Amino acid sequence: MTSDRKLTVAVIGAGIAGLCTALEVQRDGHDVVIIEPDEAGGRQAASFGNGTWLNPGSVLPMSTPGLWKQVPGFLLDPNGPFIIRWRHLPSLAGWLIRFLQAGRTWQQIEVCAAQRYELSRTTAQDHAALAEEAGRPDLIRRNGLMFIYPGQADIDAEQRAWRIRESLGIRFRKIETAELRQQVPELGGAYTLGMRMEDGGQITDPGAYCDALFQLALRRGATHKKARATGFSFNGKSLSAVLTSAGAVPCDRAVIAAGVHARDLALKAGDDVPLISERGYHVVIPDPGFDLPTGLMPSDGKMGVIWTPQGLRLAGQVELASVDAPPNWQRAKILLNYVRRMFPALAAKADAVGNDIGSNNYWLGHRPSTPDGLPCIGQASGSPDIFHAFGHGHVGMIQGPATGRLVANLIAGRAPGYDATSFSAQRFT
């Protein structure tokens, strides 16, 4: 359904997907109401505590061929980078079956990677432009990103992934030991080689960045409804309002960008999406004594190690459990083991943070994840006036700007320039 008239668009959620969507819809001249009960980019949001990476090469899904063999380890190894809590296994079983099926063959992975790349390819420059508009260009660094490895055998073990990135035109280069030591002199001897993503970047403070985009939307005329969306009101199949904990919000269109809380709303809009929390942790070492010239990811730790104004942030881990399960701060403490290996000089500071478990230096967030590694972006089945924009997993910050553009195009009836049907929620029905 297209319309040339000025619309009122309700955007449900003030995470990165919702904020980018709100700004793009405003560019088309529409009025925007942002429905969000909490602080934009606050500690409750997945957009607050992520790894800050803006990596166009984050195109491979988590599920890859042979992963099913590792499931027993996910259940038994409490120190692994990917764990499943035993007591939550029954409720996760259906999602896990779909998850493993989505990564059965490398052909599936290559198709998925190409689809993800459409949402990732210009992420660093997109965020730089948004930060400039918001008056906070200081929050974006376009200084590349680097995966670091103990040795050549560890790079060889990931050659297939690097070949897929190369086939998509993603720029990277190998960093030899001497250059690695020159670029990151604080790095310990456990890592000797790197693979540098030339077009990568970083959001130094994602919480402050989300708040800046939120304030930009308000300055451009958006209104904020401080409430939780609970459902929709229809006149036939036409949307008349979003129902909230603080009353109805009349609108012509609505966008569900509520992150891990989007599943119930999507169901009320006609789509049953298998969406779970891919629980991620971070821990911060305040005052590390040095800045990092680029974000790092150790191949054995699979986590982002980045400089932020609060200190050295270690962000990663995948824990599958329900949203309301209490934090397992041991997951965050595991990250400290890697920083001792990466930066031996920080061992004492890592110990101090480890003894202060559960402080503000620790964080748990809920990344909204679908089993096939693709977000849900598109029209809802129950009404042509409702659009989905959720389910980005751990790459929501990367894919946020492209998601906003795609939703705005769909609302306007414009062709997005690529096949976006793979993001439709109807793929799960």
CATH of the domain at 245: 3.50.50.60
Residue with token string 């919000």: 249
Longest pairwise C-alpha distance within the chain: 67
In a domain, 190, yes or no: no
**Cβ of 164: how many Cβ atoms within 10 Å?**
20
In a domain, 400, yes or no: yes
Residue 185 lies in a domain: no
pLDDT, residue 83, reads: 77
Structural domains counted in the chain: 1
355-366 b/e (C-beta count within 10 Å ≥ 16 → b): eeeeeebbbbbb
pLDDT at 1: 43
Contacts of residue 292, defined as CB under 8 A and 6 or more positions apart, other chains included, come to 184, 305, 306, 307, 312
- d(CA 322, CA 112) in angstroms, rounded, equals 26
* Beta carbons within 8 Å of 189's beta carbon, 6+ residues apart: none
Supply the pTM of this predicted model.
Answer: 0.95
Give the amino acid at 202: Q
pLDDT of 2 higher than 70: no
Tens of pLDDT, residues 104-156: 999 999 999 999 999 999 999 999 999 999 999 999 999 999 999 999 999 99
**DSSP states of 335-353 as a string?**
HHHHHHHH-GGGHHHHHHH
Task: Report yes or no on 193 lying in a domain.
Answer: no
* pLDDT tens digits along 380-392: 999 999 999 999 9
Would you say residue 159 lies in a domain? no
DSSP 240-264: EEEEETTEEEE-SEEEE--GGGHHH
Q: Within a domain: residue 264?
A: yes
Q: Which pLDDT score, from 0 to 100, does residue 339 have? A: 92
Asked whether residue 295 is domain-assigned, the answer is: no
User: How confident is residue 78, by pLDDT bands cut at 50, 70 and 90?
Assistant: low
